[in-house]
Structure 1
């Protein structure tokens, strides 16, 4: 079940990568931001034959330059690590956040190459100017398949709204990692979790290098 959730999260998250301008990110309401940037990226992917043909390097470049400014990776990492986050030193927290970010970027860049005529439906959002934490709900419409519920949890920061979790079919992206992370910390400590992420990222990188040969 967890493997299935991971695959669905991977595809849907990648489908909805953000390409908004920084000024728009600061000014837009959270639901307007999600809609604008999602539609922008769909236009890019539909027109880019390199990405459609599996050019993951180009997809990674897109993620690195366009996606990262709109996500709070430290909060995502702290949620994924759970109660063990408080055990980490500032340096360990930085390394965990960096490695977790790399893992997500490398994993989800693959999803950009899997786009096949999906569309997105956006649900109405009720919120006030005083709200600082909201969930924007969408659905991925897939020809011949059931719609997939895809929600974004965002928090309001000084430089605009930031995504800190993605929820697919009621399953949180960050909590989907929590059991594995907790087990690793129990077995080998925070440094062991960092090393696990480093190893996983090296394996992903090696796999991509092998694919190019």
Structure 2
């Protein structure tokens, strides 16, 4: 169940619509996403490919995969060839689709509440999300947004219990690239998709 919560949180970490505030964005996409999931997973027997299609159509158009990919590369971005970057970004994209789809197969109708926080005058914002568990304590998360040059808001990170998912994954990827190289890590991400 914790994995579902973390991945659901990651799902919301990549949405963007130019005219929406971060709160409006996460509310709109979340409502649409969970409506689709409830429709195809009524009996808890939805197929992985069906969920992947929902992820591709509802989520991926709003994920800043390039930004997340470059953050994941960390220090390894220096000297990166364009072809290597494109291949890594595509691998991250495929990995995210598979990860989100697998987690969404476990969604059982938990209530998800969105809380609007004050929006400052800069290009960063946070939206609090509370997942109401049917049994157990509620789970609080904070989604970190940044505003792109075109005015759209995109989530770049999710913090749960004080732990940044982007930072945690970045440490893992950077260490792995140092050990086996970018080409191997790219292939590993593709294999996990």
Structure 1 length normalisation: TM-score? 0.78
Deviation string, structure 1 residues 26-83 (Cα, Å, up to 9, x no partner): 2111111111221222222223247831311111011111211211111111222222
Gaps of at least 5 residues in structure 1 are 202-213
* Higher RCO, Cα 8 Å, sep 6+: 2
Of 139-148 and 152-161, the range deviating more from structure 2: 152-161
Contact 2:72 2:169 in 1 (8 A): yes
Greater helix share, 1 or 2?
1
Contact 2:13 2:157 in 1 (8 A): no
Q: Which residue of 1 aligns with 2:172?
A: 180
Residues 1:196 and 2:188 aligned together: yes
Measure the CA separation in 1 of the matches of 2:55 and 2:172: 25
Among residues 132, 141, 146, which one is paired with 2:137 in the alignment? 146
> Per the alignment, in what secondary structure is the counterpart of residue 61 of structure 1?
helix
Of 70-79 and 152-161, the range deviating more from structure 2: 152-161
Among residues 94, 101, 110, which one is paired with 2:102 in the alignment? 110
Measure the CA separation in 1 of the matches of 2:30 and 2:192: 28
Measure the CA separation in 1 of the matches of 2:111 and 2:191: 35
Q: Which residue of 2 aligns with 1:205?
A: none
Count residues with an aligned counterpart: 192
Gaps of at least 5 residues in structure 2 are none
CA 68–169 in structure 1, closer or farther in 2 if over 3 Å, else same:
same
Residues 1:131 and 2:96 aligned together: no
Among residues 153, 156, 164, which one is paired with 2:147 in the alignment? 156
CA 6–87 in structure 1, closer or farther in 2 if over 3 Å, else same:
farther
Structure 2 length normalisation: TM-score? 0.86
Contact 1:45 1:52 in 2 (8 A): no
> Per the alignment, in what secondary structure is the counterpart of residue 162 of structure 1?
strand
Contact 1:120 1:141 in 2 (8 A): yes
